[in-house]
Structure 1
């Protein structure tokens, strides 16, 4: 089985859910194109990829989308954002089987955000499987005082690893019965990845055990021209080697200033997607040292101020998009009869069984008041998760 993962930092963590997946599917081949601290529209970079070469694609972007759309001033959960994600999901699902992970950030764990709910609806209506991670974590709350790590977007590794393992087992059991979205549309023609600037100037190449990347080194006054008429939705940068302001000049002459004020490191790279708050046709990007006006939006992980060093930008690819149907969001709302929770329900059964056995063992091994507490904990657990017997 050939599996592609398009994910957040949750998909990169050494002992996270991917590690569990690999334990359950030891003979699978894996490709990861994951990137942390970047919204899901970044994956439109791969819209023209041949997804038929993969037996399964895992898409994990909910936590970063929640942080950008709901916790980043100046960035909105716009219809254009929704439409781009719809087109990415539809394009993948039109070619192969797709799993959409729903990992919420801590702030939206108790009550699902609009992002989370919309993502489940989108998976449902695009013939994809949705993994309701939050419902699984709520089962584990009966074993753990806190199901999240110190990072607001990362469930504890131990828990994620087990969920990943159960998911892998569920995939092996149900793979032949889940399908791709046969009626989905391939929207790849709506996207354009511009990287002609990576063929000129001072180019920096990076590679590690996870990925590789190429950037154009730009200093103060450097201007990159852009020829496409499609709207710019964002671009990739090396966050470890970028601290500057940039000015984007639109086709109507308007100038937009974006602060790319990341914390520089001595070496290495951190591939980040810097989205625009408003998508429009851009003609030039210019590196500038300072900006005195009021900034309405700054990408996540930026520090808010220029450092003392010469302004520098390491610039990757631009992502552009245009759609004749950008206001059509029917797939987020229509009712579908697809069984999009087959895998999630199977995983939940495994998690519920594990936690039930753990509580039962504690009840059996305890005495006195502790035994009474575990007895009532068992009753609450059975009632909440509709367990019909103590086994």
Structure 2
């Protein structure tokens, strides 16, 4: 379940950072396309590219027989039409054939569009080929395309290549401006390369107008991935000094960094240091949310801090921060793992009484824990609560309970669940 919390937090972080103004420059991939006035030609090319008969040479042979008028907008429209159907290698061969036949008539914006499509399809070999052609053919790379390339290369562990392209953007006829500087910083920080990102920020301060909150968020996220509390705190202080008030996203990022560091090095300081950060948040009119507390609860659960977990859940209610189903899951989980089954069931009942309807994975995970510690009767009780809440997703639970019951000799109950599930 930790991955659910982590994914939710990352989505929340990304949603907030994406509100920065450079998002305004992002446009739909489809927006580069021109309306096509020759549907028959489009259909003919689509049929050729999506055909499953023959190999790549056969594809090119069929394309050579195409008698229609090939245009740059038509090429882009074909790619958009078949990108979800055609194999990427056939798509690449079609594009390279079009590039050869159109030469300078294949517009830069359509070339950029094709590269973004291959990125979307995760065909990194095709991306490399097109990137090489950008320089050879003297094409103009759009800032949006660079952002996509930088993000992908860093995700693949090719941060050196991403930085290399950034430093040589002039060879791609792309400006080093606020957008491209922010894009490479975000890409590097997304994988914890905060030090290198700060180097970019320092060298290109003149390209960024003012202190951008999104740059601070990225740097904070990058340092937090390395669990570097000292550097993360420095970024928070720099924000305050430069008149940028840290928001809930920034503080939650720092809180995660602090809690994960203490989880490894100072478990006894988990609660107090986290509560100190929350107190600081309130002093700046930034109020902790259930996500803030869930970060702490997640780390407490990993160290089996049962008492502190229950106290934090109670403190949430008293401070006016309503626990969500993830909060209840984290506390119930540590109770079950510690053998406090009665108290764990009470926590689940509290959640249900408050009208919270959890994801079906809430029940599936807890039932799995109960079966793992040989408490099948408790698991069956929890399954009844799950069915009572009508959350669906019962199949995986049957897959866990039926074999467990049969291995324990309770064939009658196993058969009952089998009949119920089928």
Which TM-score band applies after superposition, normalised by the shorter structure? Answer: under 0.3
**RCO comparison, higher one (Cα < 8 Å, 6+):** 1
So what's the TM-score if we normalise by structure 2?
0.23
Give the TM-score taking structure 1 as reference length. 0.25
Higher helix proportion: 2
Higher strand share: 1
**Bigger radius of gyration among the two:** 2
